[in-house]
């Protein structure tokens, strides 16, 4: 299985005489990386978990190292004595501190602080206990894992039913230790604005008058601003780029609010590339334009019900091709053009109830999987698999 790896911190590279590029941190550690450079050959121990070389070579401090340092014998590289007997791997699965593992010798009696002590040996971070990889010489880090609980630690998301536990000292330390980075996610949470409720990466605001989102965590994934009497004309979402669900229901948004970038013809939601769900119901939107299109390619749910929409431009949905659910009920749509939906091959459900539809244009061969309308007459005019004449509730999984 994959090992939770250190993020790449030092990306500076060194060019071998044969042209190969290696990271500078590996230069001069006596582990050969350059195929034609003999100076790096001679102590070729790379990480092999429990089979790691444990032969006693004696502690020898190089003259180069200071009082608070030790040497990675026989390499002249020095390391801070705090890292003596501390085992960990970098993003290339190479041993950190002394790549030859010399700092892990003679650790039988070492004391492990905030880390797990392998039986009669060195210390490993708790996240390497029961991670499915043997890290201790005697393999005791992978014993009794069915009883392994992340007590007082952060439990990373499960990977193949294996859990990684991150000690609090490694939470919000600027380095991703969970494979999906949960340990670094909630580190810059800012105070919850008045009138809002915040929970993790979600924020729900009611009756507030927010004019800027720049003070909100850039990691926000769910945002609802409801009943706030706002036009949203001056609001932008550039500081919250990974919002996945956005509810702006019951405000004073109009078509101009949505297309607020003037000549750039970008929608208010431009840049929200991960947006999956957008609720603009109960506003004052009069048209869904093909000029200032929604460009959120992964949008699956769009609710523009209870507005004053009179028309839907033919090109309104040309980018949001993954749309599955569309609610345009309770508007003032008089003319219904089936061609506007022709690119929406994933569309599962469209609700057009409570619209004064008088004209139907059918130029395309598009087939609606499920169409909810007041009467069956619209279903007869367009191609429909399932005609729903009563309100049905659909939810995203």
Burial label for 203, CB within 10 Å (0-12, 13-18, 19+), is buried
Separation between Cα atoms, residue 301 and residue 245, nearest integer Å: 9
Strand partners, 284: 254
Q: How many Å is the Cα radius of gyration of the chain?
A: 30
CB of 184 to Ca ion, least distance (A): 5
Where would I find the beta strands (DSSP E) of 234-320?
Answer: 245-247, 277-279, 287-288, 301-303, 311-312
Query: Nearer to Ca ion by C-beta: 180 or 261?
Result: 180
Give the total residue count for the chain.
Answer: 397
CB of 130 to Ca ion, least distance (A): 7
Query: Nearer to Ca ion by C-beta: 177 or 306?
Result: 177
Q: Is 52 left (phi over 0), alpha (psi -120 to 50) or beta?
A: beta
Query: Nearer to Ca ion by C-beta: 151 or 263?
Result: 151
Query: Nearer to Ca ion by C-beta: 173 or 374?
Result: 173
Query: Nearer to Ca ion by C-beta: 68 or 145?
Result: 145
Instruction: Using alpha carbons, select from 290, 200, 204 the residue that is nearest to residue 249.
Output: 204
Separation between Cα atoms, residue 171 and residue 105, nearest integer Å: 28
CB of 39 to Ca ion, least distance (A): 34
DSSP result, 28-58: TSSS--STT-GGG-S------GGG-------
Query: Nearer to Ca ion by C-beta: 80 or 173?
Result: 173
CB of 372 to Ca ion, least distance (A): 48
Query: Nearer to Ca ion by C-beta: 145 or 392?
Result: 145
Q: Which two tokens stand for residue 147?
A: 């009883």
CB of 316 to Ca ion, least distance (A): 44
Binding site for Ca ion (CB under 5 A): 128, 131, 133, 135, 141, 170, 173, 175, 177, 183
CB of 101 to Ca ion, least distance (A): 16
Q: Which two tokens stand for residue 204?
A: 């729900």
CB of 177 to Ca ion, least distance (A): 4
Instruction: Judge whether 134 and 142 are in contact, CB under 8 Å.
Output: yes
């Amino acid at each position: 299985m994959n090992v939770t790896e250190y993020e790449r911190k030092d990306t500076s590279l060194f060019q071998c005489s044969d042209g190969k590029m290696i990271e500078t941190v590996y230069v001069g550690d006596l582990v050969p990386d350059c195929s034609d450079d003999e100076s790096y050959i001679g102590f070729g121990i790379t990480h092999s978990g429990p089979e790691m070389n444990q032969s006693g070579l004696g502690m020898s401090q190089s003259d180069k190292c200071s009082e608070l340092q030790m040497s990675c014998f026989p390499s002249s590289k020095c390391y801070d004595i705090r890292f003596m007997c501390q085992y960990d791997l970098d993003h290339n699965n190479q041993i950190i501190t002394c790549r030859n593992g010399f700092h892990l010798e003679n650790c039988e009696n070492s004391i492990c602080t905030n880390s797990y002590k392998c039986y009669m040996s060195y210390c490993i971070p708790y996240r390497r206990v029961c991670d499915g990889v043997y890290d201790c010489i005697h393999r005791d880090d992978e014993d009794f894992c069915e009883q392994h609980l992340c007590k007082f630690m952060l439990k990373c998301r499960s990977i193949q039913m294996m859990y990684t536990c991150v000690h609090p000292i490694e939470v919000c330390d600027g380095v991703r230790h969970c494979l999906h980075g949960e340990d670094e996610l909630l580190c810059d949470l800012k105070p919850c604005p008045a009138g809002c409720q915040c929970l993790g990466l979600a924020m729900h605001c009611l009756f507030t008058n927010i004019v800027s989102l720049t003070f909100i965590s850039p990691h926000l994934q769910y945002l609802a601003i409801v009943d706030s009497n706002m036009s949203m004309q001056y609001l932008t979402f550039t500081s919250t780029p990974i919002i996945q669900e956005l509810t702006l229901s019951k405000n004073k948004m109009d078509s101009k609010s949505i297309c607020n970038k003037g000549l750039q013809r970008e929608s208010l939601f431009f840049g929200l590339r991960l947006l999956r769900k957008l609720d603009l119901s109960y506003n004052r939107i009069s048209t869904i334009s093909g000029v200032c299109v929604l460009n959120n390619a992964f949008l699956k749910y769009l609710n523009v019900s209870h507005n004053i929409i009179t028309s839907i431009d033919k090109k309104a949905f040309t980018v949001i091709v993954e749309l599955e659910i569309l609610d345009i009920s309770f508007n003032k749509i008089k003319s219904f053009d089936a061609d506007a939906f022709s690119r929406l091959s994933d569309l599962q459900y469209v609700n057009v109830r409570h619209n004064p539809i008088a004209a139907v244009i059918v130029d395309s061969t598009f087939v609606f999987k499920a169409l909810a309308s007041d009467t069956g007459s619209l279903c007869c005019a367009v191609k429909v698999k399932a005609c729903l004449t009563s309100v049905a509730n659909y939810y995203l999984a």
